[in-house]
Structure 1
Amino acid sequence: MKQPNEEPPTRGDEAGHDLLPSLGSDNTASLSELFGYLEESESNSLGLLRRVAGLEQTHPNRENVAIPHELHSLVQIELDRMPGRPTINFLMQFFLSELNWMSLLVHPPSLMSQYESWWARRPPLAVDTLLTVADIDFAALVLRICSFASQFLPSASYTIDSVRGVPLATIRDTCSNVAANLERVAASINPRGSLVRVQHMCFAGLNSACEGRMMQSCTTLCTTIRVAQRLGFHREGPGTDSVPTNELEREMRRRVFCNLCIWDGLLSRQLDHVPFLNDGFNLESLPRMHLTPGIDRDSGAPEGFTERLLQVRLVAFWNDTKVEQSAGIDFHPTIAQERYERFQTEFLATLPPEFSLQPNLEWDEQLPKLPMQRQLLYITIFESICQNFRPLLLLEPARLRALPAHKQVVLSSQSRVLAMAALKVLDAVSALHAMLESTYTRFPAVLFHTFESAVLLLCLCIKDLLPGHDIEETAQLQTVDIAHVSAGGAVVDNPALDSGRIPEIDVSRERCIMAAEAALGRLQMLAEVSAMAEAGARSLSQLLQKAVDISTASTVRTAPRTRSSSRENAGQDPILSVSSVSWPVNEFSAADFTIDRGTPEWLASDSTMLNHLEELFRGEERES
């Protein structure tokens, strides 16, 4: 018998065992299996055979096929390694009551119905059990759900680090290893897969992320998407037998594929890789059913899957507006500004009341998971704004000084919005962490975004893109609101954007460094249970020290800005210096602007800016 951490044998391994049968000699295999055709396609050769020649070549349904005799003993050995039913019962209940809200990958009533039926079909003597591929896949789903649930224990409601005397780490490893072995057997018999297989593969990826193995999580995501596409999750092809007639199963296919789109969009944005779903999401395949128990669909309450639908919309928006950047270093302030303004009007301003930035809390008591879903959405919203503006951190000082003055004003404002968004991510992470009621957690949304946002804030401090403690400097920078700066650079009044604007917060260097210190404290605490948090804390600690040193040196160097200091530095603007790119609008010198035929239209037509410039000119004339 294999030990819990032992890798399962593979076909052609050194021992010479060939536990999994080859499908090469299977004369029941269909064209789609042998040639790799997508069953749902109407344009490939299989589709032509079906539509033009009337030839029905569909795959055989292998889900209910009994496993071959030569694999029966192997499967029984693995099933016997499963934790006892009382342990599994506890973990399943904990998952459904405390964790399912995160993704809603399963439908609790139908899942538990299958669960009870699965156990009922297992007689006392395992040798008498007649198992099918569907049974094996369902066992893998249960095991991976249990493994995922164990990632969030101990908790406030269960403070012990074991279940029925078995350590949680042992339970987690056993569940994961047995599920992987069962998946291999099921895939060897039915390569096509099923909804249940896609679900348990999703949980395998989530487990990898919780354990800090993000590259493995990405690999699992890619494989899962391929299986889902093979089953036609990305479309509802008419006239094909792969589309279930059961409406609930069709709805769960839609919901699972929604989660795959969210997962793919988030990881590709965070890790900077090409999305696996380049064509986006078919809006015709969005979930449609109202499955939240105890809530009348006509009551106006948000359905439990609303947050997931908003996340899909978020992915679709940024995919539609994405501009390819050469080597990740090209940044166009105007384009980034246009994207941000579109995001405000097309996404933020259209959020339902329960998820808006100033939310309606009417349903929070009746839907206890709604507040957590809201914070999860906020994390992703503000993280996506960070992604839009973070390339400005890669601009070199020489490039910054070469930009036209109006673009420098926009960059100053965008730096401020980047800091505001990063701070808002940390606020949402802190709120979500508190709501989880677990001091120690491996939830990737908490770990990953704590590190990412703190890094952005410290990089802004190191690049000197934020105001310091000087009250006058901070007040001047806050006179420019990124929501009221047009793509061309003009300061304009646009009250229509108010509903989609980020609330004003302090973005001084001191505030950002304090937030980064708090983030470091969270990672250091979570390092006791997470290797991801431990590695992040080490790197963040070094970055924080550098930011503090630079901020301290900058404070010592910078004298208060007065009229005398401006006169003493005639010919050199005190704000636009080599070491600083924090540019308050009202402190541009007259030498920075030349109103001629090359003057941007926004500058020549903005009376406020022109009046300010005239005052600057008159002041210099009086002094001379």
Structure 2
Amino acid sequence: MVHQAATRLATSCTECQRRKQKCSRDWPCNHCQARRVAHLCKFPAKKALKVTRSMAKTASLDNARAASPQPNLETSSLGGIAAVTNDNAFRMLGYLPGTEATNQSAENYQSAAISLDLPSMDQPEMKEAMRGLPPKPNADILVQYFLSEINEQYPCVYPPTFLHDYAIWWSGKAKGQALTPEFTCLLLRICACATLYLDNDARHKLEADLEENAQNLAERYHRTAKQLSTTIAPGQGGLTQVQQLFLNAVYCKIEAQFVESWHALGTAIHQAQELGLHKASFKVITSEFEREMRRRIWCILYDWDWQMSLLLSRPFIINSNYCSVELPNLCLESSDPDEFELSPIAHTAYQCQLGQTISKIPGVMGGLMTSAQAIAIQQETERWFKTLPAAYRLENPDTRWDQSHKFVALHRYQLHSIGYMVMFLPLKPCLTMNVDDKPSVERSLRPIAIDCALKLMESSQRMLTYMLPTSAKFYFAPFIMFDTAAFLCSAIIHDRTRTLPNQDRIIEAIGSAQEALKQISESTKTGAICYAALTRLAGSMPPRQEENATMVSRSSDESIEGPCTPPSAPLGPETYNDPYFAEMDAKMLGNSTEAGIVDASLAGLNPFQPGNNELAELDDLINIDMCELSQIWDWNTLDLTLQPPPAA
């Protein structure tokens, strides 16, 4: 289990002492938890009190010695040392924990939104940022949308403290107080990300109020935040600066700018390292709440690093040998141990565990993995699956919280997809080669690769079901479905001897992936690109009578009764009954597709018709414009001997 037992502390927290309440002496305590003020739940350092008492005794002894002078060099030296052994000296040497932050109460809590050091806001970037933000009613909508939709995926801010600072920021703006540039940047980043995620009604309202296209608004917020962020020196701005830099990476990822997102992630990681988030925080002068937030943010950065580095085939930014990853204790949202796994940060902590595990396998971080490493990754990931709690386990998960905590089901399938993605990554070459003349180890891995690919497709489609329609721009599920289906197509093309196992399930999985990508192709650029490319690739597969009969049957059923979902790829009936999908299916594909990625000629393409499956037409795949996806996708990985078009 990831969560840590709540530490039993010696005395009541400062808030309970101030309010004269009985404290549970856990962090966060019962009263602070109920009032959602965990950032104010602080306890005096017990060790510091003990050491202070002992030092007071030492000082009295030194005074007694000083009163009776002795002409002894050794005694004089001890007296000189005792003269400098005070609290500050010991604290400077790192022997005493600090009590500066732990003695704060509600009255002297310092908000991250107001600056006590900056006398004014004369910077042109700050003035531009103040003008660039939407009016408060619109900003309120964007903030609430971010906290309810995006922050559950990437929980980099704690809603109670953020909303507290958010109210102070607007109050300080009205009073003409000096506002911190880092929190202003954070607010702009939140508005930019939330604008891209708005549903149709909220987007139309925002565009009507501000008289500007939502995409243009998001780009303007992002651009303004980027300009203001350049005025903040490295190491300045605290955790708020790390949060806003991380949301820069989130924005780029939402916009499918994967290389830019990776570089933005590196900037956020370097800022976090300047603050010492990669080190154990037991000597840091900070509150228990801030230590927990440090753990959470570093855990998120660590997860993004190892996953994006694997997808982009790039070296890890974080060197695990030179950092300590302290997992969150998961008790910030609830003091009930039975509900620790329902924390929005829980799935991030479990991903962090998996990343730590596979990074310890020799050679994994080098990029190219052997069969032995693929087997080791499979074994470690299967062990990791078994450690997941009941709400996230693979078989018979506990679904009693799916309605009250809507993110639990989404996080469950996200964890499953990431686990199978890690297992499938080193097994991909087994599907792009003729294994008949390969060693027995590689031949034995092909059935494992196919089984893993089918499970990855199923979990990705389940995740997409829970994401739609509000989170259609979340690229991970559509891309994983396309990537896995493409390798399954390559496996069929390379299967010269017709010995590929589970052929019927493979065909069903490819068809289900096409249906799912088709449904989001008109609302997202990523879905449109993936649907066009997969349709073209599936049309190049060699014909088989049983496959043609299967697809003809599927097409006939869909024309009469609507889309049919195979058991192995359940996009449930609730998805197809949604008006969002009914309207999408009613339109002809290509009439209003974003950026014109898919044209009408692909709408009626039956990918398994004999007229479209000549292997010579594989060369047409290289002509498909993958746009931003070309940063993480290369047709050469399918080993289809594609030829580029001749030069003009």
TM-score tier by shorter-chain length is 0.5 to 0.7
Native 8 Å contact 1:382 1:421 kept in 2: yes
Secondary structure in 2 aligned to 1:321? Answer: coil
1:347-386 to 2 correspondences below 5 Å:
347-358=384-395, 359-386=397-424
Change (3 A) 1:412 1:325: farther
| Paired AA for residue 160 in structure 2 | P
Q: Counterpart in 1 of 2:356? A: 316
Q: TM-score, normalised by structure 1?
A: 0.64
Residue 191 of structure 2 corresponds to residue 140 of structure 1:
no
Q: Which amino acid aligns with 1:310?
A: Y
1:447 corresponding residue in structure 2: 478
Q: In the alignment, which of 445, 450, 474 is matched to residue 419 of structure 1? A: 450
1:164 partnered with 2:214: no
**Aligned residues of 1:524 and 1:533 also touching (Cα < 8 A):** yes
Change (3 A) 1:463 1:551: farther
Residue 335 and residue 197 in structure 1: after superposition, are their counterparts in 2 closer, same or farther (change >3 A)? closer
Closer/same/farther in 2, CA of residues 165 and 130 from structure 1, 3 Å limit: closer
Partner amino acid, structure 1, of 2:448 = V
Q: CA deviation at 1:348?
A: 1.9
> Retained in 2: the 8 A contact 1:462–1:551?
no
Deviation at 1:198, TM superposition (A): 0.7
Q: Which amino acid aligns with 1:309?
A: A
- Structure 1 residue 193 displacement after superposition: 3.8
Secondary structure of 1:101's counterpart equals: coil
In 2: Cα distance, 1:331 partner to 1:348 partner:
22
- 2:309 corresponds to: 268
Which of 115, 140, 145 lines up with 1:89 in the alignment? 140
Secondary structure of 2:406's match? coil
Q: Distance in 2 between matches of 1:237 and 1:439?
A: 38
1:1-150 matches, within 5 Å, as 64=115, 66-67=117-118, 71-123=122-174, 129-132=176-179, 135-150=180-195
Distance change (3 Å), C-alpha of 1:312 and 1:402: closer
Provide the C-alpha distance between the structure 2 equivalents of 1:384 and 1:327, rounded to a whole number of angstroms: 13
Report if the CA contact (8 A) 2:482-2:513 is conserved: yes
Please tell me whether the aligned partners of residues 193 and 227 of structure 1 are also in contact (alpha carbons under 8 angstroms): no
Shift of 1:313: 0.9
The 1:383/1:159 distance shift into structure 2, 3 A limit, reads farther
Shift of 1:309: 1.0
Query: For 1:375 and 1:268, how far apart are their aligned partners in 2?
Result: 21
Distance 2:438 2:459 in 1: 37
Aligned residues: 443
Please give the alpha-carbon distance, in whole angstroms, between the structure 2 residues aligned to 1:261 and 1:283.
11
Distance 1:286 1:300 in 2: 13
SS in 2 for 1:304: coil
User: Counterpart amino acid of 1:287?
Assistant: P
Distance 1:301 1:198, change over 3 A: closer
Q: How does 1:140-219 map to 2 (within 5 A)?
A: 140-154=185-199, 162=207, 164-166=209-211, 167-185=213-231, 187-188=232-233, 191-219=235-263
CA-CA distance at 1:51 after TM superposition: 5.8
For the structure 1 residues 117 and 519, does the alpha-carbon distance in structure 2 shift closer, same or farther, using more than 3 Å as the test? same
In the alignment, structure 1 residue 549 sits paired with structure 2 residue 542: yes
Structure 2 CA distance for aligned equivalents of residues 283 and 364 of structure 1 = 33
Contact 2:129 2:184 in 1 (8 A): no
8 Å Cα contact 1:153-1:159 kept in structure 2: no
RMSD, aligned α-carbons: 3.6
| TM superposition shift of 1:250 | 1.6
Residues 74, 102 of structure 1: alpha-carbon distance in 2 compared, 3 angstrom cutoff: closer
Matched to 1:104, the amino acid is P
Structure 1 residue 353 displacement after superposition: 1.6
The alpha carbon displacement at 1:62 in A equals 14
Alignment partners' CA distance in 1, 2:265 and 2:125: 27
Deviations 1:75-102 (A, max 9, x none): 2233112111111100111121223211
Q: How does 1:157-556 map to 2 (within 5 A)?
A: 162=207, 164-166=209-211, 167-185=213-231, 187-188=232-233, 191-236=235-280, 239=283, 243-279=284-320, 285-293=326-334, 296-298=336-338, 302-323=342-363, 328=368, 331-332=370-371, 334-344=372-382, 346-358=383-395, 359-393=397-431, 395=433, 397=434, 401-403=437-439, 406-407=440-441, 411-438=442-469, 441-464=472-495, 507-508=502-503, 510-546=504-540, 548-549=541-542
Distance 2:116 2:340 in 1: 45
Do 2:431 and 2:449's aligned partners in 1 also have CA atoms closer than 8 Å?
no
Q: Given that residues 381 and 419 in structure 2 are in contact (C-alpha distance below 8 angstroms), is that contact kept between their aligned partners in structure 1?
A: no
* AA in 1 matched with 2:178: L
Secondary structure class of the residue paired with 1:347:
helix
CA gap of 1:111–1:237, structure 2 versus 1, over 3 A, is closer
Q: Relative to 1, partners in 2 of residues 1:392 and 1:160: Cα closer, same or farther, differing over 3 Å?
A: farther
CA–CA separation in structure 2 for the residues paired with 1:62 and 1:171: 23
Deviation per CA, 1:255-285, whole angstroms, max 9, x where unpaired?
A: 0110111101111111111111122685562
Q: TM-score, normalised by structure 2?
A: 0.61
Answer with 385-394 or 249-258: which moved more.
385-394
Q: 1:524 to 1:338 in 2, by over 3 A?
A: same
The equivalent of 1:603 in structure 2 is none
Paired residue for 2:64? none
Q: Contact between 1:440 and 1:525, CA under 8 Å: does it hold in 2?
A: no
Q: Flag the 1:202–1:67 CA change in 2: closer, same or farther, 3 A.
A: same
Aligned amino acid, residue 534 of structure 1:
A
> How far 1:338 sits from its partner (Å)?
3.9
> What SS is found at the alignment partner of 1:122?
helix
Q: Cα deviation per residue 1:43-99 (whole Å; 9 max; x = unaligned)?
A: xxxxxxx769xxxxxxxx999464586943442233112111111100111121223
Q: For each residue in 1:156-191, what CA deviation from the matched residue of structure 2 results, as whole angstroms up to 9, or x when unmatched?
A: 887767363543213212211121122122x14x65
CA-CA distance at 1:247 after TM superposition: 1.6
Contact 1:261 1:312 in 2 (8 A): yes
Partner-residue secondary structure (3-state), 1:119: helix
CA distance in 2, matches of 1:422, 1:459: 12
For 2:354 and 2:364, locate their aligned partners in 1 and report how far apart those are by CA, in whole Å: 18
CA spacing shift, 1:530–1:68, aligned 2, 3 Å: farther
The gaps in structure 2 that reach 5 residues or longer are 1-91, 95-111, 550-648
